[in-house]
Structure 1
């Protein structure tokens, strides 16, 4: 297994009064509540936590993109990846991901990821996302076009990475006389790895399986994780191959303490802040009309029921295993159980969440790195060998 520290860089200063006053922590939440002086210290703190992940043995660190929200203060994940490029030397840096339908010219993303890949000598993982519903309100974009724009942007970016320029690119949304990006990425077999985080739409699962990219499941109950990974593995078989563990990833908040009860006590309020205070938004904002296809609407709405749109207590999140919280023994036993059932090879732990203070974040990371990761490293090794053997025989 490979272990990544996924940081959301949440704004931790949303008060109960603010939560009660506004119907969302996204889009319309007034930016007068952002204090740049606190932001300076917060960025330095969060970057230091990501830098520390390399020192204690994590395989990678992850940043992502959200706009006009207290939920995450990274409107440009590529800028954060650039900051990490000079603060780290070994870990993979996963940009999870660029919301490619929101860029008017996706060629800029091809250029920026190539720059990052050269800066890091090939340590970049390029995540592509459509962006969740609030992003389409933030940029006044038509959500009914998001999937078509996503596919077109993806095709342009990968072509720019893999074909010699200059060449022309004329499609529905993007028309370019010259595509000839400098620099080109270091990773050229055939391009930087592409990971696709998703809420579990049927179309995304099928498309990722067809492309043989890495699929990441986020913010889900364990029953939904089970359903989605089963669907993904069935989709890969439909396309004539068996998914390797490293083609599947699971992202969720994780907290480790000395005992189960201490872990619950220390994590409770900070988990609830993440899922309720800064995730808060009306359903019409989370899923604007046309964002989901009719085919996926029922499944996605069922799987995401309550997230962001109603209060979810820590106890419910714990019982349904949206989060894994406990002693090192409990955490590693749960992860081992689900890895053996689902077969994923990438675990993206949100070791910081919500208002979790720095000292508890570091304690969480240290316990996870020393008492959980070493016991789980070899999980999935047999599956990898079986997939490799099958590939050799085809």
Structure 2
């Protein structure tokens, strides 16, 4: 298994009674709930945790992008990657990812990521996403254009990285008489591209395409749906006459480790329940606006996410669904082994901070995971494992 540390940077001091007067922590929650003095302390604490993950030996550390929400205070992940680029010495820096359809100028993404790739001497992993439905409300972008804008922005960025400039680019949404980025990326032909997703069929097909073979990262999904989406990727690869590697498949999941199962549940319970019931709360029309996905994909995502939009969830339900792993080191190792065996993935994006988890418990969780889980599983691979071919 390959282990990456993932941080959402939520606004942990959030007044959790907000839902008595507001429907969601996304888009419409007044920013008067945010205290800049508390936020400044929080940002520095979170950056320290990301840097500490490098010291603990994670293969990579990960940032991401969300807008106008207490769920995650990273509207510009390139900024956070830039702050980490000179201080993180060994780990890869994963930007998971830029929400391409909501950006007005994808060429700036090509430039920013190329700079980061040079500064880190090739330790950047780029993530491209469509962004969840709430981002289209926040950024006033038509969700029906999501797929088309994503594909065009992706193609423009990859061409900017790989095609000698200057050249002109004329698309439906983007028009540039000169594409000629300086600097060019450090990695050849370009930084690795990963595609996180909620499980859209179209996104799986895009990532698995023979000419791309991008890492597909399933996010926050019950175990049974995870296995389904992992199979869908492998089947998409077989339809294109190649066998997908386990290194093309990953899972992003919240995890908490403590001395015993009882201690782990007691310590994690209020914070993971705050995460799913308060920070993740949003109405379905915000999560899946009309036109955002095909009918087939929307049915699948609704089935996987149906508990997000209403009703309180308990830690017991999360553990039963497999959307949260919690327990002693032995319990956590056993769960990861089981899920890897059934899912066939080799990448674990471990969310070791969630919701209101305080600094001391976050550090404890990170240390126990790094020292008592990772070493036991680092040489474990799924049955029939085949390393991804070098591009």
Length-normalised TM-score, structure 1 = 0.96
Q: For residues 311 and 238 of structure 1, what CA distance do their matches in structure 2 show?
A: 41
Task: Judge conservation of contact 2:344–2:382 (CA < 8 Å) in 1.
Answer: no
Aligned position for 1:261 = 262
In the TM superposition, 1:149-228 aligns within 5 A as 149-188=149-188, 190-210=189-209, 211-228=212-229
Task: Judge conservation of contact 2:255–2:326 (CA < 8 Å) in 1.
Answer: yes
Q: For residues 15 and 288 of structure 2, what CA distance do their matches in structure 1 show?
A: 26
Q: 1:387 to 1:88 in 2, by over 3 A?
A: closer
Q: For residues 296 and 326 of structure 2, what CA distance do their matches in structure 1 show?
A: 34
Task: Judge conservation of contact 1:14–1:277 (CA < 8 Å) in 2.
Answer: no
Structure 1 vs Structure 2 CA RMSD: 1.4
Q: For residues 308 and 183 of structure 1, what CA distance do their matches in structure 2 show?
A: 44
Q: For residues 246 and 192 of structure 1, what CA distance do their matches in structure 2 show?
A: 16
SS of residue paired to 1:87: coil
Per-residue CA deviations over 1:312-349 (Å, capped at 9, x if unaligned) read: 22211111110000000000011012212222111000
Q: For residues 65 and 309 of structure 1, what CA distance do their matches in structure 2 show?
A: 24
Aligned position for 2:120 = 120
Task: Judge conservation of contact 2:247–2:387 (CA < 8 Å) in 1.
Answer: no
Task: Judge conservation of contact 2:341–2:382 (CA < 8 Å) in 1.
Answer: no
Q: 1:38 to 1:387 in 2, by over 3 A?
A: closer
Q: For residues 110 and 215 of structure 2, what CA distance do their matches in structure 1 show?
A: 19
Aligned position for 1:43 = 43
Q: For residues 268 and 308 of structure 1, what CA distance do their matches in structure 2 show?
A: 20
Aligned residues: 388
Query: 1:383: how far off?
Result: 4.1
Aligned position for 1:72 = 72
Per-residue CA deviations over 1:207-228 (Å, capped at 9, x if unaligned) read: 1110200000011111111111
Aligned position for 1:359 = 360
Task: Judge conservation of contact 1:167–1:179 (CA < 8 Å) in 2.
Answer: yes
Q: For residues 22 and 3 of structure 1, what CA distance do their matches in structure 2 show?
A: 37
Per-residue CA deviations over 1:343-387 (Å, capped at 9, x if unaligned) read: 211100000000000110011011111110011011128744x45
Q: For residues 341 and 301 of structure 1, what CA distance do their matches in structure 2 show?
A: 22
Q: For residues 274 and 296 of structure 1, what CA distance do their matches in structure 2 show?
A: 25
Task: Judge conservation of contact 1:251–1:350 (CA < 8 Å) in 2.
Answer: yes
Q: For residues 240 and 8 of structure 1, what CA distance do their matches in structure 2 show?
A: 37
Task: Judge conservation of contact 1:244–1:383 (CA < 8 Å) in 2.
Answer: no
Q: For residues 117 and 152 of structure 1, what CA distance do their matches in structure 2 show?
A: 22
Aligned position for 2:94 = 94
Query: 1:17: how far off?
Result: 2.4
SS of residue paired to 2:86: helix
Q: 1:382 to 1:222 in 2, by over 3 A?
A: closer
Q: For residues 305 and 281 of structure 2, what CA distance do their matches in structure 1 show?
A: 13
Task: Judge conservation of contact 1:255–1:351 (CA < 8 Å) in 2.
Answer: yes
Aligned position for 1:278 = 279
Task: Judge conservation of contact 2:257–2:326 (CA < 8 Å) in 1.
Answer: yes
Aligned position for 1:105 = 105
Which runs of 5 or more structure 1 residues have no equivalent in the other structure?
none
Length-normalised TM-score, structure 2 = 0.97
Aligned position for 2:323 = 322
Task: Judge conservation of contact 1:340–1:379 (CA < 8 Å) in 2.
Answer: no
Aligned position for 2:313 = 312
Query: 1:302: how far off?
Result: 0.8
Task: Judge conservation of contact 1:217–1:225 (CA < 8 Å) in 2.
Answer: yes
Matched, 1:234 2:202: no
SS of residue paired to 1:215: strand
Q: For residues 311 and 145 of structure 2, what CA distance do their matches in structure 1 show?
A: 28
Aligned position for 1:20 = 20
Q: For residues 309 and 382 of structure 2, what CA distance do their matches in structure 1 show?
A: 37
Task: Judge conservation of contact 1:339–1:379 (CA < 8 Å) in 2.
Answer: no
Task: Judge conservation of contact 2:341–2:383 (CA < 8 Å) in 1.
Answer: no
